[in-house]
Amino acid sequence: MNQLSRFVRFWLMGCWALSACTLAQSADLLSPTPTRVLLSRNSLISTLERDFSAAPIPIPQPTSTLENTACPPTDGLPTVRHQIEAVIDYGDHSVAVEQQITFINRTDEALDTIRFDIEANRFANAFTLYTVTTPHFELMDVNGRQMTLELTEALLPGCTQDIGLEFQLVIPAVTSGISGYTGYFSYSNRQLNLGHWLPTIAVYRDGEWVTHDVTVIGEQTVSEVADWDVRLQVTNAPPNIVVAAPGDLLESADQVWRYAMTASRDFSVSMSPFFRQESAITEAGTKVEIYSFDNAIVNTPAGQVDGAVQALEATVQSLNHYSDLFGEYGAERFVVVQGDFPDGMEFSQLVFVSDAWFRTNPGTPESYLIIITVHEVSHQWWYARVGNDQALTPWLDEALATYSEYLFYEEFYPDLKDWWWGFRVQTFVQPGYSGNRVDSTVYEFATIREYINAVYLRGALMLDRLREALGTDVFIAWLRAYSDLGTERIVTSDDLWGLLSAEQLTQIAPIRAQFLSAS
Ligand SMILES: [Zn+2]
């Protein structure tokens, strides 16, 4: 553990627990090499920013050099590769992580910083950094979800930087109310969820790193795809603990599980000793697994039904249908998890569907259980495959995911098309709607309801109007082309509109003007 790491650890553990920190507290950890450190508090509490130019700390010694400008060829290698060793203390709700990141600079600029998204650090006291091991860095700024390494030798285009991180996660208990929506990173009395638990390299776009402020509305992550090799060792857990995780299972023995995933925006996992597991196979041979609890079995007027069986069937149907419409799903597995938090949440090859939708399941397709299940499945295209800026252009994934729900009902339950519009959309968005535009950012809303009404529901209305104007065949071909264009990329609304001809754009201009602020 180097001096900077000790300092960071001290600061994170000591200062973050206090309402204020004094320089004197940390000065004894500082040594006489001039540099500057800016460390600031999780944005949930007040921000601290200090200039330590008068009380410097040592620069970590390089473990290798990047002096050679002729870097080895990286053709065919992933831009980012994560190798993770995680020891999960199930009973203590904590995780000790060693993460090795290999990052190739595929921009055409020499990078003098590397920015990380540390989503776990949006939660108070959840993330404690112990060590950072990488060549040639001298300054580290940890500010809420952002961590920036400043490099003393720029990382040239085509060159590779290895970065090692050691950190501890303390998983928060799931909460009720609006903050419960982040229950994908929480524990309940029967489940531990690790979504967005690992630092990722931020997106570099237009000459700067893209990281957005946290808000309770929507999601704010922007993630490039990466390769993942994740080894989980579970301790302090019942012997019958069940791990729900995506990817190829490389190893499974003695409370150890190891998974590999390629070209994925995240790696998420859920575990519980109470999971029931059922599976089915799609037309393309993908194995769909659903992990649910006993309370997914409910009594309805038509008798007892198992929501897990219903959700499993809807998942297979929707994976088949969306593969036909938008391009093959491709992965060998897909995982659905009953989550002890509101609504649902998408990750690469794994989605959560809220316990609430299982508990209130009427036993028929006219249910949020089916709506949200297929919505989350569609995010395998509108998030996992086609990336977008979820904070600034949330409609690009959410409007498309919501309209994909309708495409599911249209295909499998055509008698319920009108029901879907009435139940899902018109209940909340009536004619004369005067709320925000479809292309609003997540920062423009006071409530989740207003956000869903504007971005999801009016987004679906807009897409339906566009379909009406363009014709179904052209509309679906357009979405398919967008899916192809955006595969393993981060795209913008210009990419979507740019796939239409000038004539088509003129044709739909009134619709864009009605629903969008930037048309
Ligand atoms: Zn969604």
Say how many Å lie between the CA of residue 396 and the centre of ligand 1.
10
Contact yes or no for 460/406 (Cβ under 8 A): yes
From ligand 1's centre to the CA of 341, what distance in Å? Answer: 15
Residue 308 sits at φ, ψ, to 5 deg, of -65, -40
Q: How far is the CA of 127 from the centre of ligand 1 (A)?
A: 26
Half-sphere exposure of 407 (CA within 13 A, CB side): 28
Query: CA–CA distance from 339 to each of 171, 175, 194, 197, 342 (Å)?
Result: 15, 13, 11, 16, 8
Nearest Cα to Cα of residue 26 among 8, 49, 2:
8
Q: What one-letter code names the amino acid at 225?
A: V
> How remote is the CA of residue 162 from the centroid of ligand 1, in Å?
34
What's the 344 CA to ligand 1 centre distance in angstroms? 8
CA of 272 to the centre of ligand 1 (A): 24
- The pLDDT, as a whole number, for residue 334 is 98
Cα-to-centroid distance, 168 and ligand 1 (Å): 29
- Core vs surface per residue 480-495: b (16+ CB within 10 A) or e: bbbbeebbbebbbbeb
Q: 133: CA distance to ligand 1 center in Å?
A: 36
* Longest CA pairwise span in the chain (Å): 75
Q: Which residues contact 339 (CB under 8 A, 6 or more apart)?
A: 183, 184, 191, 193, 270, 345, 352, 353, 354, 355
Q: What is the DSSP string of 386-411?
A: EEE-TTT-THHHHHHHHHHHHHHHHH
CA of 377 to the centre of ligand 1 (A): 9
Count helices and strands (H / E) in the chain: 12, 27
* Contact by Cβ (8 Å): 228, 145: no
**Which residues pair with residue 303 across a beta bridge?**
300
According to the model, what pLDDT value does residue 157 have? 96
How far apart are the two ends of the chain, measured CA to CA in Å? Answer: 53
Which residue bears the tokens 């993908």?
Answer: 286
Question: Read out DSSP for 425-446?
Answer: IITT--TT--S--TT--GGG-S
Question: What phi, psi does 349 have (nearest 5°)?
Answer: 65, 10
Residue 416 CA to ligand 1 centre (angstroms): 21
Q: What is the pLDDT along the chain (519 residues), one digit of tens a residue?
A: 333 443 344 333 333 332 222 222 222 222 222 222 333 323 222 222 323 233 333 333 334 444 445 799 999 999 999 999 999 999 999 999 999 999 999 999 999 999 999 999 999 899 999 999 998 888 788 888 899 999 999 999 999 999 999 999 999 999 988 889 999 999 999 999 999 999 999 999 999 999 888 888 888 888 899 999 999 999 999 999 999 999 999 999 999 999 999 999 999 999 999 999 999 999 999 999 999 999 999 999 999 999 999 999 999 999 999 999 999 999 999 999 999 999 999 999 999 999 999 999 999 999 999 999 999 999 999 999 999 999 999 999 999 999 999 999 999 999 999 999 999 999 999 988 989 999 999 999 999 999 999 999 999 999 999 999 999 999 999 999 999 999 999 999 999 999 999 999 999 999 999 999 976
What does the block give as tokens for 57? Answer: 């700390």
Cα(183) to centroid(ligand 1), Å = 15
**By the 8 A CB rule, do 430 and 461 touch?**
no
C-alpha 332 to ligand 1 mean position (Å):
22
Give the number of other Cβ atoms within 10 Å of residue 502's Cβ: 7
Residue 455, number of CB atoms within 10 A of its CB: 30
Compute, in angstroms, the gap from residue 6 CA to the centroid of ligand 1: 40
Q: How many CA atoms lie within 13 A of 4 on its CB side?
A: 27
CA 402 to centroid of ligand 1, rounded, Å: 7
| Adjacent-strand bridge partners of 299 | 304
pLDDT on residue 141: 81
Say how many Å lie between the CA of residue 184 and the centre of ligand 1. 14
User: What confidence score (pLDDT) does residue 519 get?
Assistant: 60
Measure 225 CA to ligand 1 centroid, in angstroms.
19
Rounded Cα distance, 69 and 175, in Å: 51
Instruction: Map residue 166 onto helix, strand or coil.
Output: strand
Alpha-carbon separation of residue 292 from 133, 275, 311, 368, 439 (angstroms): 40, 5, 10, 16, 35
3-state secondary structure of 121: helix
E strands within 329-416?
333-339, 344-347, 350-354, 386-388
Cα-to-centroid distance, 295 and ligand 1 (Å): 24
Q: How far is the CA of 376 from the centre of ligand 1 (A)?
A: 6
